[in-house]
């Protein structure tokens, strides 16, 4: 009895004795702050991004952490408003004294909080800001510490234009919601079309929330373009598609920026979604390193499949932590140096930025609905199938 | 960059304008009724239309009903909702200063939209029942809009006949002309109010049911219909029921033609400029003021 007790004591002392000094030496976890849109307009997408961050932290910790420390996220809800985001980043940096920050959801909120993170010289990798003007700024207003992860708005429709040009199509009509992102995507498409020798025969914006496209589409029908490029969000993409059918508007190709890749798009439009091209930053089926594993781990962890917002959030976190690891320190200036030179490929695809932190390597892909399935059709090296071309007339299906 | 406008295009947008204008007329007739009879501007008219759209959506998706068969059911359901709203809330502000009724119905409208967001979520829903169009020569007649046009014309026509011919309809018009005199003549004004609010809500619901087949729906879809209905009754002359019908048609045409000749962005500007112009030049509405 006594002997066994003694053995137990010795054993316990050995275990604790061995571990105690290590605990005493190890500093606390690396705390990374962010505000995310967990409620409000962007809630759906902000939550996907949050899950991306969470999975990234979990995986790093499972592998022993970073610089010998655990990684821990401090996340607040900015209710999808830029002003709240600004307040929260101030709080994270000055009150919570987090070791690092990563970006919020959406361009407007990123644009607002970037002023705070710049003021305190904090490196911020911003996984879900696609607006060029956040990064490309006049010389006296340059930002030095923010880094873009996703492709900019201007290249959303590059795939559509490229496929059209390769098939010898000559004319394109462009419509866009009259807001920051959609306008940028539309003007990007127009520039690309002209560069490829195509003619933009019609271009017009429409107000946010518009549901009646009859007159607009009547004009497009008269212009009779080979390609219709629509720079949309989700609701308007659905309305335009339905009214194209109503007016029997039949371009040879029809592509949209946002919404066309979502499963809900097909749920709502059923077989009318066939042949429609959608642009996306990422798909679970893309052959990027670790992508399959990411999608599986994500589905296991959260019980739902990731969308590109999840993958971008995940990749943003991975890239930042990778840069810290390479720099061997959390020091903002040294991490910045690493990020500016970093050329890497994550589950989300390529990452490489120019001197403004502007993303230059990441590639968009175009999908098309084929027989109820979303299939990647562009670029050629990633395509899973040939695009079904041309789009048959609505009344001949 | 921009296209040359041809007569065919003008014809096409006139078709679109008339088709959608009839819907405007029917929905606005409801708003005009409430305003005429009770002097209440019902800001919740659009959100009630939204409830009608959801009623049709659920009857279609859960019970597999033909969406056009749901129109009378939806109207009846929302008639009851209207009566309950009148009975519990709106009757309190009849005869009160107009600001009181605005505040109350504004509150109802916010409550309805938020309840709908909680109950139905903000996801888009669609009744994918009838898409595409009938092609006649160079013109396309959207199937769902054409049927909506027929329904709206029939419902508005019936409502109009009801107001003109039946005893109850005459009582409604009498109340609208003068509440006091109607009371003196032995009309139960409170009952008329109840019925009017129910009928007006049913008209909005019919609009919602038909719209659900045309566009995808979501809880915030109603707001724009409140504004459009308001615009229509100002154009047509507040309290003037035939005026509301003509006003709806006019708004549909103006919107479509403005989008054709200008841009979609400017078409709303034109519609509201028209509103300002009418208020300045002919404040009683294009088709005269209160007359029944």
- The CATH number linked to A52 is 3.40.50.2300
- Contact indicator for A242, B129 with CB cutoff of 8 Å: no
Q: Is residue A385 part of a domain?
A: yes
Q: Do residues A309 and A171 share a domain?
A: no
State pLDDT tens for residues B121-171.
878 898 888 888 888 888 989 899 999 999 999 999 999 999 999 999 999
Q: Is residue A94 part of a domain?
A: yes
Cβ neighbours for B21, distance < 8 A, ≥ 6 positions apart: B248, B249, B250, B251, B252, B253
Cβ neighbours for A48, distance < 8 A, ≥ 6 positions apart: A306, A307, A309, A310, A313
Q: Do residues A142 and A204 share a domain?
A: no
- CB environment A199-235: b (16+ within 10 A), e (fewer): ebbbbbbbbeebbbbbbbbbbbbbbebbbbbbbbbbb
- CA B42 remoteness from chain centre: 11
Q: Do residues A252 and A387 share a domain?
A: yes
Q: Is residue A2 part of a domain?
A: no
Q: Which chain A residues contact residue B125 at CB under 8 A?
A: 268
Establish if B228 touches chain A: CB-CB under 8 angstroms: no
Q: Which domains does chain B have, with CATH numbers?
A: 7-281 (1.10.3470)
Q: Do residues A195 and A329 share a domain?
A: no
Q: Which chain B residues contact residue A207 at CB under 8 A?
A: 264-265, 268
Q: Do residues A180 and A114 share a domain?
A: no
pLDDT of A371 above 70 = yes
Q: Is residue A338 part of a domain?
A: yes
What's the number of domains chain A is made of?
A: 2
- Contact indicator for A394, A248 with CB cutoff of 8 Å: yes
- Contact indicator for B190, B83 with CB cutoff of 8 Å: no
Establish if A245 touches chain B: CB-CB under 8 angstroms: yes
Q: Do residues A112 and A234 share a domain?
A: no
Establish if A269 touches chain B: CB-CB under 8 angstroms: yes
- Contact indicator for A101, A320 with CB cutoff of 8 Å: no
Closest alpha carbon within chain A to B127: A268
* DSSP structure class, residue A8: H
Q: Do residues A122 and A166 share a domain?
A: no
Residue of B2, B9, B264, B270 to mutate when probing chain A, most A C-beta within 10 A:
B264
Task: Report how far apart, in Å, the C-alpha atoms of B72 and of each of B129, B162, B192 are.
Answer: 18, 16, 21
Phi-psi region for residue B155, left (φ > 0), alpha (ψ -120 to 50) or beta?
Answer: alpha
Q: Do residues A244 and A307 share a domain?
A: no
Q: Is residue A93 part of a domain?
A: yes
Residue B236 CB coordination number (10 Å):
29
Supply φ then ψ for residue A304, to 5 degrees. Answer: -150, 160
Establish if B226 touches chain A: CB-CB under 8 angstroms: no
**Residue B73 burial class via C-beta count within 10 angstroms: exposed 0-12, middle 13-18, buried 19 and up:** middle
State pLDDT tens for residues A249-305.
999 999 999 878 888 889 889 899 999 999 999 999 999 999 999 999 999 999 998
Is A219's CB within 8 Å of B260's CB? yes
Is B2's CB within 8 Å of A235's CB? no
Name the residue among B291, B263, B258 with its Cα closest to residue B274: B258
Residue of A212, A228, A269 to mutate when probing chain B, most B C-beta within 10 A:
A212
State pLDDT tens for residues A18-30.
444 444 455 799 9
State pLDDT tens for residues A310-349.
999 999 999 999 999 999 999 999 999 999 999 999 999 9
Cβ neighbours for B22, distance < 8 A, ≥ 6 positions apart: B148, B149, B152, B153, B156, B248, B249, B252
Q: Do residues A79 and A189 share a domain?
A: no
pLDDT of B227 above 80 = yes
Tell me the shortest Cα–Cα distance from A267 to chain B, in angstroms. 9
Q: Do residues A382 and A249 share a domain?
A: yes
Q: ipTM value of the model?
A: 0.83
Cβ neighbours for A201, distance < 8 A, ≥ 6 positions apart: A171, A172, A173, A223, A224, A225, B1, B3
Q: Is residue A190 part of a domain?
A: yes
- Domain of A195 in residue numbering reads as 155-280+364-396
Q: Is residue A22 part of a domain?
A: no
Q: Do residues A274 and A189 share a domain?
A: yes
Supply φ then ψ for residue B71, to 5 degrees. Answer: -55, -50
Q: Do residues A209 and A169 share a domain?
A: yes
pLDDT of A160 above 50 = yes
């Amino acid at each position: 009895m006594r002997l066994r007790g003694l053995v137990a004591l010795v054993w316990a002392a050995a275990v604790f004795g061995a571990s105690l000094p290590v605990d005493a030496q190890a500093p606390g976890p690396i705390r990374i702050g962010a505000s995310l849109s967990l409620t409000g307009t962007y809630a759906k997408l902000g939550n996907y991004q949050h899950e991306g961050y969470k999975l990234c932290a979990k995986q790093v910790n499972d592998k022993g952490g970073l610089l010998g420390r655990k990684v821990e996220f401090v996340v607040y809800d900015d209710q999808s408003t830029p002003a709240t985001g600004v307040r929260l980043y101030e709080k994270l940096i000055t009150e919570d004294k987090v070791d690092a920050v990563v970006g919020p959801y959406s361009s407007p909120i990123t644009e607002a909080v970037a002023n705070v993170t710049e003021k305190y010289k904090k490196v911020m990798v911003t996984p879900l800001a696609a607006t060029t003007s956040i990064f490309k700024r006049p010389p006296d207003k340059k930002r030095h510490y923010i880094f873009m992860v996703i492709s900019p708005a201007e290249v959303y429709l590059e795939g559509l234009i490229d496929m059209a040009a390769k098939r010898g199509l000559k004319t394109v009509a462009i419509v866009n919601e009259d807001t920051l992102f959609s306008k940028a995507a539309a003007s990007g498409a127009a520039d690309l079309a002209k560069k490829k020798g195509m003619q933009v025969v019609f271009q017009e914006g429409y107000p946010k929330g518009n549901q009646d496209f009859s007159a607009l589409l009547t004009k497009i029908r008269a212009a009779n373009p080979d390609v219709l490029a629509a720079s949309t969000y989700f609701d308007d993409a659905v309305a335009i598609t339905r009214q194209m059918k109503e007016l029997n508007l039949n371009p040879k190709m029809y592509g949209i920026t946002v919404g066309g890749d979502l499963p809900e798009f097909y749920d709502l439009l059923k077989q009318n979604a066939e042949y429609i091209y959608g642009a996306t930053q990422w798909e679970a089926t893309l052959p990027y390193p670790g992508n399959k594993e990411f999608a599986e781990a994500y589905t296991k962890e959260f019980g739902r499949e990731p969308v590109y917002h999840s993958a971008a959030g995940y990749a943003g976190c991975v890239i930042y932590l990778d840069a810290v690891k390479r720099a061997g320190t959390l020091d903002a200036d040294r991490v910045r140096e690493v990020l500016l030179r970093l050329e890497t490929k994550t589950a989300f695809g390529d990452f490489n930025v120019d001197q403004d932190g502007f993303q230059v390597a990441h590639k968009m892909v175009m999908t098309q609905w084929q027989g109820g399935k979303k299939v990647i059709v562009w670029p050629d090296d990633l395509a899973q199938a040939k695009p079904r071309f041309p789009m048959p007339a609505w009344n001949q299906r | 960059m921009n296209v040359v406008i041809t007569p065919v295009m003008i014809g096409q947008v006139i078709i679109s304008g008339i088709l959608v204008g009839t819907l405007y007329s029917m929905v606005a007739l409801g708003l005009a009724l409430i305003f005429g009879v009770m002097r209440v501007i019902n800001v919740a008219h659009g959100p009630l239309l939204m409830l009608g759209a959801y009623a049709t959506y659920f009857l279609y998706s859960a019970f597999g009903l033909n969406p056009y068969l749901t129109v009378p059911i939806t109207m009846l359901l929302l008639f009851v909702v209207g009566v309950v709203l009148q009975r519990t809330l709106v009757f309190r502000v009849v005869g009160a200063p107009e600001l009181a009724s605005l505040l109350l119905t504004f509150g109802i409208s916010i409550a309805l939209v938020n309840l709908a967001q909680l109950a139905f979520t903000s996801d888009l829903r669609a009744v994918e029942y009838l898409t595409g169009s009938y092609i006649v020569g160079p013109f396309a007649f959207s199937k769902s809009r054409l049927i909506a046009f027929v329904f709206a014309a029939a419902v508005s026509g019936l409502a109009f006949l009801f107001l003109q011919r039946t005893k109850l309809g005459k009582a409604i018009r009498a109340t609208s002309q003068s509440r006091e005199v109607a009371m003196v003549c032995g009309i139960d004004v409170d009952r008329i109010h109840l019925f009017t609010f129910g009928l007006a809500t049913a008209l909005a619901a019919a609009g919602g049911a038909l719209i659900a087949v045309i566009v995808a729906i979501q809880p915030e879809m109603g707001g724009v219909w409140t504004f459009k209905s308001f615009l229509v009754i100002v154009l047509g002359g507040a309290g003037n029921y035939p005026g509301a019908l003509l006003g709806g048609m006019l708004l549909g045409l103006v919107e479509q033609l403005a989008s054709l000749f200008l841009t979609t962005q400017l078409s709303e500007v034109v519609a509201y400029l028209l509103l300002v112009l009418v208020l300045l030049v002919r404040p009683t509405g294009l088709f005269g003021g209160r007359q029944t």
